[in-house]
């Protein structure tokens, strides 16, 4: 019987044109199932971020196909991709990337506003998410009033607010101290185990790799190992 | 939500926003004040020219304005009187007979324009009575004459002397009469001063043999600003046998002069608006450059480009409208001050404006249109500048933007 994959990439390649064309991702085949906690690792320039960008619909492959929950991303227009990301994918970035003029609560609520979720539902969900990431006492704080770890937790709440099919986290612990990094990983692992949220990380961080249940290693754009723990 | 985001973004860099606001504020004050003074000057010019002689509008028989002869005079009948009485927006009217004649003193002659007026009604339309600098104003059925100052000087006559008028009357009848000079009238305009002779309407009709007929009816609208509307409605009400003309048509030289003045004003205003535009545009460029990474993130997480552009547009419009509004508030007391306490012109300028029959003061105008116009122009500048972020964001690539 065919398995249902959240993400399914087939012969995925990305070549950056230039005087010397660079093959950032080379014929990658990858399937990710629901509820995975997967780390994509590899040295700088191995193609992790490019692969993650293509999975997230931010970048288009040169060849190959990519499906999210059986929906093919290849043929979508820019606006369709934006809409798709809004409803299906959560993003956590290395440098938090919260909107500086909005409070923690407003930042977490922002995606739901774009989704036009009714006020009551929004309020309920944002409160529960901020409680989940341990920031229910920082609702009205602006990002500049929060530590790096706290900002990244708001970013996680924002990524989850849209009830995405999966969360893509690009080096989420890179700018965090150890304590904040462990704290964040604990939260994400708990969300994965208790709520079944699928997380895909690109990372160098051994702390993340140690917590991952699947580790995909890229080198020169190719998958060189795929370890399920 | 977009408005909230835009408003808060504006205050991310308070100093920059305040500097931009200040540049708009001062530019709007300056431009509003300049326009206010210009409009005030034009109003003064119109009031003095129109108020001195032509009136705000006139009715003639069709063809009179192109060929000013008594053959193109008209009978003032009951039907016309009835229509004028019931005309909306018409405050009053004064009858005139105007024709040309040769004026002679004992030694010299000169071509003049003889204007027959109803002295009482004329007072409502022009300031002729106030312009009498020697002698007295005319009475009804007066047999005396008022002369322009330059004409009296040319003919070497004064109050109490006799003026002889010779000309051609209605249907080729000869026109001749002797009139004691009752007063001398001062006009700012040299053209008027050297050729006008005023008689009572009755005396003029008798001189030119046009009893019961008129060449002009001078109109005073309820609202001077609604002269054009009055002209249009009267033209359709009294029919094609008459031509109804507004002061702009009657005194095209004023319009020409105003147009020339306006062109000079436009250049100055253009420079001011450019200052405003570059102030706003520089701010927008900096805002865009600073936030390109953030824009990339917002598009990445699912914000439509049009919403993002809308935030930028709202920011631009907010700062433009706020600056314009504050500028209007700032300009208001200044304009009010110079409305109630007009600027007194220096001796040289005083002579120049006196030629146009104007008082030597520059009074600001406080017409609401001036303030609204400035706000609209700054709003339009904002809209025009908003095209840039719209274009930039429509081409935004999330990944490249996030790398910036």
Q: How many angstroms separate the CA atoms of B234 and B222, rounded?
A: 13
Interface test with chain B among A99, A107, A110, A111, by most B beta carbons within 10 Å: A99
Chain A's closest residue to B402, CA to CA, is A97
Mean pLDDT computed over B245-253: 86
- Which of A78, A100, A111 is the closest to B301 by Cβ? A111
- For chain A, the residues whose C-beta falls within 8 A of a C-beta of chain B are 53, 56, 58-59, 78-79, 82-83, 85-87, 91, 93, 97, 99-102, 110-111, 113-115, 158, 162
* B85, B217: one domain: yes
* B77, B196: one domain: yes
| Chain B hits for A87, Cβ within 8 Å | 302
* B67, B201: one domain: yes
Q: Do B302 and A97 touch (CB under 8 A)?
A: no
- Which of B1, B12, B398 is the closest to A58 by Cβ? B398
Task: Kindly state whether residue B246 falls inside one of the protein's structural domains.
Answer: no
Residue B355: per-residue pLDDT: 60
Q: Do A113 and B8 touch (CB under 8 A)?
A: no
CA B171, B176, B179: angle at the middle one, nearest 5? 135
Q: Do A85 and B301 touch (CB under 8 A)?
A: yes
Task: Kindly state whether residue B55 falls inside one of the protein's structural domains.
Answer: no
With bands split at pLDDT 50, 70 and 90, how would you rate the model's confidence at B73? very high
With bands split at pLDDT 50, 70 and 90, how would you rate the model's confidence at B217? very high
Chain A's closest residue to B398, CA to CA, is A58
Counting one residue from A and one from B, how many pairs have CB atoms under 8 Å apart? 54
Nearest to B98 by CA among B121, B85, B117: B117
Mind telling me how many Å the CA of A28 is from chain B's nearest CA? 21
* B207, B330: one domain: no
Q: pLDDT tens-digit profile of B277-312? A: 888 888 888 888 888 999 999 999 999 999 999 998
Task: Kindly state whether residue B248 falls inside one of the protein's structural domains.
Answer: no
Best-predicted range by mean pLDDT (B1-10, B241-250, B378-387): B241-250
Q: Calculate the average pLDDT of chain B.
A: 88
* B82, B214: one domain: yes
Q: Do A86 and B307 touch (CB under 8 A)?
A: no
Domain count of the fold of chain B: 2
Residue B214: per-residue pLDDT: 95
Chain B's closest residue to A167, CA to CA, is B301
With bands split at pLDDT 50, 70 and 90, how would you rate the model's confidence at B275? confident
Q: pLDDT tens-digit profile of B163-183? A: 999 999 999 889 999 999 999
Over 80: is that where the pLDDT of B51 sits?
no
Domain boundaries of chain A, sorted by first residue: 7-228
Q: Do B302 and A101 touch (CB under 8 A)?
A: no
Q: Do B297 and A97 touch (CB under 8 A)?
A: yes
Q: How many angstroms separate the CA atoms of B313 and A218, rounded?
A: 43
Residue A136: per-residue pLDDT: 87
- Which of A91, A100, A110 is the closest to B12 by Cβ? A100
Q: Do A100 and B304 touch (CB under 8 A)?
A: no
Mean pLDDT computed over B320-335: 91
Q: Do B300 and A87 touch (CB under 8 A)?
A: no
The residue range of the domain holding B171 is: 63-239
Task: Kindly state whether residue B245 falls inside one of the protein's structural domains.
Answer: no
Which overall architecture, per CATH, does domain A7-228 show? 3-Layer(aba) Sandwich (3.40)
* B258, B284: one domain: yes
pLDDT in tens, chain A (229 residues): 456 789 999 999 999 988 888 899 999 999 999 999 999 999 988 999 899 999 999 999 999 999 998 899 998 999 999 999 999 999 998 888 899 999 999 999 999 999 999 999 999 999 988 998 888 899 999 999 999 889 999 998 999 888 898 999 998 888 888 888 888 888 889 888 888 889 999 988 888 899 899 999 999 999 999 988 8
Over 70: is that where the pLDDT of B353 sits?
no
Chain B's closest residue to A88, CA to CA, is B302
The verdict on ipTM greater than 0.85 is yes
- Which of B1, B299, B399 is the closest to A113 by Cβ? B1
Q: pLDDT tens-digit profile of B33-50? A: 988 988 888 887 777 777
- Which of A82, A101, A111 is the closest to B304 by Cβ? A82
* B356, B274: one domain: yes
* B208, B275: one domain: no
Token pair of B359, please?
Answer: 């008082």
| Chain A hits for B303, Cβ within 8 Å | 82, 86, 114
* B77, B163: one domain: yes
Mind telling me how many Å the CA of B294 is from chain A's nearest CA? 7
- Which of A53, A86, A87 is the closest to B399 by Cβ? A53
Interface test with chain A among B301, B393, B394, B398, by most A beta carbons within 10 Å: B301
Task: Kindly state whether residue B220 falls inside one of the protein's structural domains.
Answer: yes
* B157, B190: one domain: yes
Tell how strand B216-221 and strand B90-104 pair up.
antiparallel
| Chain A hits for B9, Cβ within 8 Å | 101
CA B333, B336, B339: angle at the middle one, nearest 5? 155
- Which of B1, B302, B402 is the closest to A85 by Cβ? B302
Q: Do A101 and B294 touch (CB under 8 A)?
A: no
With bands split at pLDDT 50, 70 and 90, how would you rate the model's confidence at B333? very high
Q: Do A85 and B1 touch (CB under 8 A)?
A: no
Q: Do B302 and A87 touch (CB under 8 A)?
A: yes
Mind telling me how many Å the CA of A58 is from chain B's nearest CA? 7
Measured between alpha carbons, how far is residue A99 from residues A13, A128, B254 in Å? 33, 20, 59
Over 80: is that where the pLDDT of B54 sits?
yes
Q: Do A162 and B398 touch (CB under 8 A)?
A: no
Residue B41: per-residue pLDDT: 83
| Chain A hits for B298, Cβ within 8 Å | 99
* B326, B297: one domain: yes
Task: Kindly state whether residue B244 falls inside one of the protein's structural domains.
Answer: no
């Amino acid at each position: 019987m065919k398995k249902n994959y959240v993400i399914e990439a087939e012969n995925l390649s990305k070549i950056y044109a230039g005087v010397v064309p660079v093959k950032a991702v080379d014929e990658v085949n990858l399937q990710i199932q629901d509820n995975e906690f997967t780390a994509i690792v590899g040295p700088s320039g191995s193609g992790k971020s490019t692969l993650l960008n293509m999975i997230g619909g931010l970048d288009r492959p040169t060849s190959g196909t990519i499906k999210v929950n059986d929906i093919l991303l290849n043929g979508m227009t820019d606006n369709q991709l934006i809409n798709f990301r809004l409803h299906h994918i959560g993003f956590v970035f290395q440098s938090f990337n919260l909107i500086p003029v909005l409070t923690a609560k407003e930042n977490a609520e922002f995606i739901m506003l774009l989704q036009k979720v009714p006020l009551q539902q929004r309020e309920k969900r944002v409160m529960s998410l901020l409680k989940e990431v341990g920031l229910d006492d920082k609702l009205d704080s602006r990002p500049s009033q929060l530590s790096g770890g706290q900002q990244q937790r708001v970013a996680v709440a924002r990524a989850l607010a849209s009830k995405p099919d999966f969360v893509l986290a690009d080096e989420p612990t890179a700018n965090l101290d150890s304590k904040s990094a462990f704290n964040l990983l604990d939260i994400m692992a708990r969300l994965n185990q208790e709520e079944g949220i699928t997380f895909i990380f690109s990372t160098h961080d051994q702390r993340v790799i140690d917590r991952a249940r699947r580790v995909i290693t890229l080198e020169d754009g190719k998958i060189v190992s795929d370890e399920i723990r | 939500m977009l408005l909230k985001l835009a408003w808060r973004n504006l205050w991310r860099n308070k100093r920059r926003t305040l500097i931009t606001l200040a540049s708009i504020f001062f530019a709007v004050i300056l431009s509003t004040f300049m326009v206010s003074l210009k409009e005030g000057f034009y109003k003064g010019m119109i009031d003095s020219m129109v108020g001195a002689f032509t009136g705000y509008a006139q009715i003639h028989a069709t063809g009179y304005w192109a060929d000013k002869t008594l053959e193109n005079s008209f009978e003032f009948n009951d039907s016309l009187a009835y229509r004028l009485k019931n005309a909306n927006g018409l405050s009053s009217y004064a009858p005139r007979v105007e024709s040309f004649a040769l004026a002679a003193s004992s030694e010299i002659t000169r071509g003049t324009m003889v204007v027959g007026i109803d002295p009482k009604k004329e007072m409502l339309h022009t300031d002729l009575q106030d312009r009498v600098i020697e002698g007295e104003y005319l009475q009804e059925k007066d047999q005396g004459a008022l002369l322009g100052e330059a004409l009296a000087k040319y003919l070497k006559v004064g109050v109490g002397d006799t003026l002889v008028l010779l000309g051609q009357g209605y249907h080729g009848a000869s026109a001749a009469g002797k009139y004691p000079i009752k007063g001398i009238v001062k006009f700012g305009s040299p053209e008027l001063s050297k050729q006008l002779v005023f008689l009572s309407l009755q005396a003029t009709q008798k001189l030119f043999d046009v009893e019961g007929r008129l060449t002009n009816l001078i109109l005073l609208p309820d609202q001077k600003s609604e002269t054009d509307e009055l002209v249009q409605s009267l033209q359709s009400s009294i029919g094609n046998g008459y031509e109804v003309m507004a002061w702009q048509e009657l005194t095209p030289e004023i319009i020409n002069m105003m147009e020339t003045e306006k062109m000079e004003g436009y250049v100055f205003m253009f420079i001011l608006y450019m200052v405003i535009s570059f102030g706003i545009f520089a701010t927008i460029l900096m805002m865009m450059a600073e936030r390109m990474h953030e824009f990339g993130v917002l598009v990445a997480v699912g914000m439509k480009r049009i919403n993002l552009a809308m935030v930028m547009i709202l920011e631009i419009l907010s700062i433009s409208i706020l600056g314009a509004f504050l500028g209007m508030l700032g300009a208001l007391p200044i304009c009010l001050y110079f409305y109630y306490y007009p600027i007194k012109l220096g001796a040289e300028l005083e002579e120049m404006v006196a030629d146009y029959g104007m008082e030597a003061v520059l009074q600001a105008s406080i017409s609401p249109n001036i303030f609204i116009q400035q706000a609209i122009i700054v709003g339009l500048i904002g809209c025009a500048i908003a095209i840039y972020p719209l274009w930039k964001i429509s081409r935004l690539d999330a990944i490249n933007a996030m790398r910036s």
